[in-house]
Amino acid sequence: MLETVETTQISAQGFFTLGRVGRRWVFLTPERKPFFSLGLNHIDSSPLRYLENLSRWEHKYGNDSLRWIAESVAPNLKQWGFNSVGWVQEISIHQRAHTPSFTLEEYCALQMPYCHLLPFIETHHISGMGGIRIPIYSARISRIGAIMWPDLSAHD
C-alpha cells in the first residue's frame, strides 16, 4: 500500500516527492506514482572543449551548452533507457574545480527529472586524501576536519 508522507516541501503538488511502501521509501511522480530513478551522474561538456575536440564543440553545438544538452545529451540518455539525471553538481578534488553545476535552464533543456545535490557536508576532501576513510559520524571526523579543512579551504 502506497503511503504519502509529509515532507519539508511547502506543497508537493506538481513536484516529485517521497512516499513509503511498507517500510521502504520511494520517489513519487507529480501524479503520485512510484518512480524508480535510473539516471546518469556527472554529465560534463568539458571533454568536448579540449583542444582536440574544440572544433566539433564549436561546429556541432555552436559553443552552446543548452544546444548540446537538447540535441545530444537528452536524446541519448532517453535512447539508452535512462529516465532521470543524477548528480551534476560542481565538485573539487584537492581544490581543482570541475565544471559548474547545471543551471535551471540546463535542467529544463533535459526535459527529464533530475536530482540536485544539496551539499550539507564536504566529505570528499577527507575521504580522497591519502586513503583516509572515516565515517562522518565518527568522533575522529571533528579532529581530522579541524586540522585538514582550513588548509584545504585556504587554497580557494
pLDDT at 61 over 90: yes
The beta strand positions in the chain, using DSSP E, are 2-4, 17-21, 24-28, 34-35, 39-40, 84-85, 92-93, 96-97
Q: What is the mean pLDDT of residues 48-75?
A: 93
The more confident residue out of 105 and 139 is: 105
Distance between CA atoms of residues 25 and 20, nearest Å? 5
Say what the pLDDT of residue 28 is: 85
Tell me the domain boundaries of the chain. Answer: 1-36, 37-120, 121-156
pLDDT tens string 18-51: 888 888 888 888 888 888 889 888 888 888 888 9
pLDDT tens string 75-131: 999 999 999 988 765 554 444 455 677 888 998 999 998 887 666 665 554 444 555
